[in-house]
């Protein structure tokens, strides 16, 4: 439990609510070409930049707890930082440290899974994203674990590799799969047999989140566990064939199974062990449930092999999912929402399904549920289940409808919302769709802006990371756009390393703070900023606010 916050002596807050708006995946582009945020027609945002104090904030690398500033930010660590007001070492960094130190291999869970394989002569299966995007996984972690498994007497390893094309280049899969196949050939010998057993695009199988589309988990189960699906002799041939047949980018490729003599090489059996080597939680919870649930209502698993299952990390600290995990996640405590509940501040949180968990679960330090049923309200707007480029406006109008209703009711002192448009549509790599998504979102920001002004409230607009601001691949040395063989720019589907905005819209401003906002801060400073605008003093160890209040 935390103590209540102290009221600010010189600033009691405004009569209306504080609205904290997260424009997911919206930053300031480094290049003019490919910056869909700048290219979009956004009258509201343009006006806010002209008339309101604003600054740029860091949203990637060490500023959000990642290993280095070469690591792009992501929605998970971004919302963690915004929600807790401080920076904690995050998944990629923690797992890397655990592997480098060898601690992961001395833990009870690793030893239990390895012993299970050795004792039963079973296979050790790895499921996860085959890239070095460092958002959900890192293929270097997988290589290390395979080498250690061989060293400790495991005889067979099967890898169920998901294609990325989202946190890395949209058609970069073979840059990871081909060298990995070579790596497996090098480590294989008469006593050790490691193979890729199945795969598919991350937006087609296995990596659904927030219960949005359980058919993805259904397909993943049949592919990885049952070994059912279209058979190919190798991952390379599967990827090349499916690309030609579908024209899809990596994240959207259909599932495939590797087979010999008409049989899958990696269907799971009793006595096997399974490690989900993704470390990020949101897209790991459903496949984990499929392995761990005694009874599953979402789909018929057909066959449930008796395996030892573990995740790379604990994906839900409240529900303690999974039951077994290899690396302890950051223990994020004393979040802004918890402090505000202790201070009697009523809060309203809303997004559509794709980002609902970010404005709640991740915002609250990877904790499910509320700190107070009386003081908090969560609303989820169901997302469309179809490619986002087909509905680039997503549910921003429905989100705005409800936010405006709550502003006018003036029941909640803090309203938190996430517009997913810039991130989810940005990941499609389709520039025109992102333009549409930005313009649709801008219209809704304008509607909310009017409601905030009428209520005498405040609106703080920011983002968790960049994405839609960097839609084309560029040559790092020259800055030129990379052109594909068809003469069109090469699409970029990954997050950017760009800064994000922090705009303070305060129509009741009367000189209480300096109009020039602080520069060079990370998005973790949004918590202190929000708390101060509510009329409270931020906790002493929170990262400083962008505001400088006058005494």
* Domain presence at residue 2: no
Shared domain for 151 and 263, answered yes or no, is yes
Does residue 331 surpass a pLDDT of 90? no
Which contiguous run of DSSP H or E holds residue 352? strand 347-352
**pLDDT per position as a tens digit, 370-412:** 999 999 999 999 999 999 999 999 999 999 999 999 999 999 9
Catalytic residues: 75
Q: Within this chain, do residues 164 and 287 fall inside the same structural domain, yes or no?
A: yes
Q: What is the mean pLDDT of residues 35-57?
A: 98
| Residue 26 belongs to a domain | yes
- Is residue 9 within a helix (H) or strand (E), and if so which, with residue range? none
Dig out the tokens for 494 from the structure. Answer: 């990954």
Q: Are residues 289 and 377 in the same domain?
A: no
Q: Are residues 254 and 358 in the same domain?
A: no
- What is the C-alpha to C-alpha distance for residues 444 and 424, in angstroms, rounded to an integer? 17
pLDDT in tens, 63-82: 999 888 988 888 989 999 99
For residue 110, tell me if it sits in a domain.
yes
Strand locations in 237-314, DSSP E? 256-260, 263-264, 273-276, 308-313
CATH classification at residue 125: 3.40.1450.10
Query: Quick check: 159 and 194 in contact, CB under 8 A?
Result: yes
C-alpha to C-alpha distance for 377 and 38, rounded to whole angstroms: 34
Model confidence at 92, in pLDDT bands (50, 70, 90)? Answer: confident
CB atoms within 10 A of CB 244: 8
Identify whether residues 337 and 443 lie together within a single domain: yes
Residue after which a domain boundary falls, among 327, 353, 372: 327
Query: Does residue 4 lie within any of the structural domains?
Result: no
Shared-domain flag, residues 120 and 213: yes
CA 22 to chain centre: 14
Q: What is the mean pLDDT of residues 478-482?
A: 89
- Residue 233 located in a structural domain: yes
Domain C-terminal end among 293, 327, 361: 327
Lowest mean pLDDT segment, chosen from 52-56, 328-332, 534-538 = 328-332
Pairwise CA distance, residues 206 & 284, whole Å: 8
pLDDT surpassing 80 at residue 551: no
pLDDT tens digits, one per residue of 488-513: 999 998 899 999 999 999 999 999 99
Return mean pLDDT, the chain. Answer: 96
Comparing CA positions, the residue from 85, 91, 453 lying closest to residue 277 is: 91
Q: Where are the alpha helices (DSSP H) in 20-156?
A: 36-39, 43-51, 75-84, 91-101, 103-106, 108-120, 139-151
Lowest mean pLDDT among 152-161, 276-285, 286-295: 276-285
Which residues make Cβ contacts (< 8 Å) with residue 300, sequence separation at least 6? none
Q: How confident is the model at residue 141 (pLDDT cuts 50, 70, 90)?
A: very high
**pLDDT for residue 266:** 98
541 occurs within a structural domain: no
Which CATH number is 481's domain given? 3.40.720.10
Q: Domain boundary residue among 267, 301, 327?
A: 327
Strands 256-260, 231-232: pairing kind: parallel
Mean pLDDT of 348-356: 97
CA atoms within a 13 Å half-sphere pointing along the CA-CB vector of 65 = 27
Count of structural domains within the chain: 2
Query: Looking at the predicted structure, is the pLDDT value of residue 316 above 80?
Result: no
Residue 246, Cβ neighbours under 10 Å: how many? 12
Lowest mean pLDDT among 65-74, 298-307, 539-548: 65-74
Q: How far apart are CA 204 and CA 331, in angstroms?
A: 32
Do 233 and 298 lie in one domain? The reply is yes
For 457-471, how does the pLDDT look when each residue is reduced to its tens digit (9 = 90+)? 999 999 999 999 999
Residue 24 has pLDDT above 80, yes or no: yes
Are residue 107 and residue 75 in the same domain, yes or no? Answer: no
pLDDT of residue 319: 73
In the predicted model, what is the mean pLDDT of residues 26-50?
Answer: 97
Q: Are residues 464 and 486 in the same domain?
A: yes
Looking at the fold, whether 388 and 526 belong to one and the same domain comes out as yes
299 and 415 in a single domain? The answer is no
Does residue 539 form part of some domain?
no
The domain containing residue 57 runs over which residues?
18-89+332-533
**DSSP bridge pairs for 380:** 351
197 and 254 together in one domain: yes
Task: Report whether 167 contacts 136 (CB < 8 A).
Answer: yes
Residues counted in the chain? 551
Q: Which of 55, 56, 73 is nearest to 64 (CA)?
A: 73
In a domain, 383, yes or no: yes
């Amino acid at each position: 439990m935390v103590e209540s916050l102290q009221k600010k002596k010189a600033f009691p807050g405004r009569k209306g609510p504080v609205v904290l708006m997260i424009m997911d995946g919206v930053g300031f582009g480094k290049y003019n070409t490919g910056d869909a945020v700048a290219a979009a027609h956004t009258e509201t945002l343009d006006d806010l930049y002209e008339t309101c104090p604003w600054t740029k904030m860091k949203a990637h690398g060490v500023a959000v707890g990642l290993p280095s500033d070469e690591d792009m930010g992501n929605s998970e660590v971004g919302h963690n930082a915004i929600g807790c007001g401080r920076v904690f070492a995050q998944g990629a960094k923690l797992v890397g440290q655990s592997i480098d130190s060898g601690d992961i291999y001395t833990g009870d869970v690793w030893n239990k899974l390895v012993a299970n394989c050795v004792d039963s002569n079973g296979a050790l299966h790895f499921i996860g994203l085959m890239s070095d995007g460092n958002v959900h996984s890192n293929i270097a972690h997988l290589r290390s674990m395979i080498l250690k498994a061989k060293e400790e007497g495991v005889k067979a390893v099967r890898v169920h590799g998901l294609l990325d094309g989202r946190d890395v280049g949209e058609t970069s899969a073979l840059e990871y799969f081909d060298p990995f196949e070579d790596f497996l050939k090098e480590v294989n010998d008469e006593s050790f047999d490691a193979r890729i057993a199945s795969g598919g695009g991350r937006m087609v199988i296995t990596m659904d989140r927030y219960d949005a589309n359980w058919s993805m988990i259904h397909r993943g189960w049949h592919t990885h566990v049952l070994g059912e699906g279209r058979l190919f002799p190798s991952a390379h041939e599967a990827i090349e064939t499916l690309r030609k047949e579908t024209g899809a980018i990596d994240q959207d490729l259909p599932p495939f199974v590797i087979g010999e003599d008409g049989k899958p090489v990696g269907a799971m059996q009793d006595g096997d062990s399974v490690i989900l080597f993704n470390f990020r939680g949101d897209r790991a919870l459903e496949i984990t449930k499929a392995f761990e649930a005694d009874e599953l209502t979402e789909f018929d698993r057909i066959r449930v092999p008796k395996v030892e299952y573990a995740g790379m990390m604990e994906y839900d600290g409240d529900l303690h999912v999974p039951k077994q995990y290899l690396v302890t996640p950051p223990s994020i405590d004393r979040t802004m929402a918890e402090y505000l509940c202790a201070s009697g501040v009523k809060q309203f949180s809303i997004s559509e399904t794709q980002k609902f968990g970010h404005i709640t679960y991740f915002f609250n330090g990877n904790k499910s549920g509320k700190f107070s049923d009386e003081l908090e309200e969560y609303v989820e707007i169901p997302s469309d289940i179809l490619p986002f480029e087909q509905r680039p406006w997503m549910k921003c109008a429905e989100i705005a409808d409800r936010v405006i209703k709550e502003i006018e009711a003036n029941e909640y002192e803090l309203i938190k919302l996430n517009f997913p448009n810039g991130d989810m549509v940005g990941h499609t790599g389709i520039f025109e769709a992102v333009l549409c998504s930005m313009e649709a979102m801008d219209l809704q920001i304008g509607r909310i802006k009017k409601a905030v002004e009428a209520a005498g409230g405040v609106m703080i607009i920011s983002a968790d990371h960049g994405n839609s601001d960097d839609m084309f691949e560029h040559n790092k040395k020259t800055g030129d756009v990379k052109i594909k063989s068809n003469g069109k720019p090469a699409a970029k589907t990954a997050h950017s390393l760009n800064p994000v905005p922090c705009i303070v819209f305060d129509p009741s401003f009367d000189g209480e703070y300096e109009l020039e906002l602080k520069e060079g801060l990370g998005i973790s400073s949004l918590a202190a900023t929000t708390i101060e605008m509510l009329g409270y003093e931020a906790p002493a160890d929170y990262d400083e606010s962008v505001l400088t209040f006058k005494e």
